[in-house]
């Protein structure tokens, strides 16, 4: 029983010693073993490792390629045009000891890198015109920025894998001014189109009116000609008929005059009995007697 009581504390001590002595380095990490803050070992291979408990501690660093989103930065191009540039970078810790000594941890490293990237963005892009920054030539400028940033990042044990512009926008005031200018231009074009349409409408209407007038005049002319020809033929027929039977023709014309004069029931004529107008009535009476 007494031996068992002694064995239990020994087992607990050994277990605690093993717990504080063993550490595991994962495949995505690299480790720095520190003794009272001083680096003693760098471990880059995954596996189980040992350290002196309570004297040494381990700092783990990511060895994967990491992303860094920089805050949007206003860049003034060489032609004094302003542009809001939102860039991002990809970096990797290649020298964990230099990284730990220079920046200490990933948070500080990100802050330092963001400052460097924005500074190089202003320096390089500020020497180009706005049109160049918005064209395909921007790729060359980004390669130059990556090279410059990488030169400084090496002091931190960091390698810059890539630097890209995620978005490049005009400032809000410039965007609104461009929008207003585009709106004014569209309104001007719309007025020009309306004016041209109105001019074409007037031309088409006047041409149509002219054609209508010409057609009506031609139709009126043809009508008058046909009417004249008809009257001529009628008069000729009347003349031929009068020449053949003058007495019948006189009778026919008298009947037409009677019809015209006596139309309606309220017509009254006061004529002498021997009026030429009633000569055929007299003949009818004498024949009836």
pLDDT given for residue 231 in this prediction: 75
CA distances to 258, 259, 260, 263 from 255, rounded to whole Å, are: 5, 6, 9, 12
**20-31 b/e (C-beta count within 10 Å ≥ 16 → b):** eeebebeeebbb
Domain positions in the chain are 2-62, 66-170, 252-288
Closest CA to 117 of 183, 66, 163, 52: 163
**192-204 b/e (C-beta count within 10 Å ≥ 16 → b):** eeeeeeeeeeeee
CATH number of 66-170: 3.30.479.30
Closest CA to 19 of 53, 66, 56: 53
pLDDT given for residue 92 in this prediction: 94
Tokens representing 36 are 């009272």
Report pLDDT digits (tens) over 16-75: 777 778 888 999 999 999 998 888 899 989 888 888 888 888 999 999 999 998 888 887
pLDDT given for residue 272 in this prediction: 67
What is the maximum span of the chain, computed from C-alpha positions, in angstroms? 185
pLDDT given for residue 7 in this prediction: 73
CB 127 within 8 Å of CB 185: no
CB 66 within 8 Å of CB 38: no
Backbone phi and psi for residue 152, each to the nearest 5 degrees, phi listed first: -80, -35
pLDDT in tens, the chain (289 residues): 565 567 777 777 677 777 778 888 999 999 999 998 888 899 989 888 888 888 888 999 999 999 998 888 887 777 777 778 888 899 999 999 999 999 989 999 999 999 998 888 888 877 877 776 666 677 788 888 889 999 999 999 999 999 888 877 766 555 555 567 677 788 788 888 888 888 888 888 888 888 888 888 888 888 888 888 887 787 777 677 666 667 667 777 777 776 676 666 666 666 666 666 666 665 544 444 4
pLDDT given for residue 111 in this prediction: 92
CB 46 within 8 Å of CB 23: no
Q: Is the pTM of this model over 0.85?
A: no
Tokens representing 41 are 């070992």
């Amino acid at each position: 029983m007494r031996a068992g009581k002694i064995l239990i504390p020994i087992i607990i001590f050994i277990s605690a010693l093993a717990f504080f002595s063993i550490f595991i380095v994962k495949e995505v990490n690299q480790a720095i073993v520190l003794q009272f803050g001083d680096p003693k070992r760098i471990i880059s291979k995954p596996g189980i490792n040992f350290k002196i408990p309570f004297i040494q501690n381990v700092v783990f660093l990511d060895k994967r390629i990491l992303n860094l989103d920089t805050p949007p930065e206003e860049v003034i191009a060489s032609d004094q045009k302003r542009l809001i540039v939102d860039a991002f970078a990809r970096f990797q810790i290649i020298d964990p000891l230099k990284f730990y000594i220079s920046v200490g941890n990933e948070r500080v490293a990100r802050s330092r890198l963001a400052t460097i990237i924005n500074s190089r963005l202003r320096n390089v892009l500020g020497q180009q015109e706005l049109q160049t920054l918005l064209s395909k030539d921007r790729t060359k400028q980004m390669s130059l920025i990556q090279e410059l940033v990488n030169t400084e990042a090496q002091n931190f044990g960091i390698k810059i894998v890539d630097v890209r512009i995620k978005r490049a926008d005009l400032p809000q005031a410039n965007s609104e001014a461009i929008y207003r200018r585009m709106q004014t231009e569209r309104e001007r074009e719309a007025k020009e189109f309306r004016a041209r349409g109105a001019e074409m409408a007037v031309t088409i209407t006047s041409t149509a009116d002219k054609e209508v007038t010409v057609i009506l005049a031609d139709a009126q002319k043809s009508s008058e000609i046909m009417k004249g020809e008809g009257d001529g033929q009628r008069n000729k027929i009347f003349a031929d008929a009068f020449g053949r039977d003058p007495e019948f023709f006189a009778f026919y014309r008298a009947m037409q005059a009677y019809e015209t004069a006596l139309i309606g029931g309220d017509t009254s004529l006061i004529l002498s009995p021997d009026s030429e107008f009633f000569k055929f009535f007299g003949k009818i009476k004498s024949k009836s007697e």
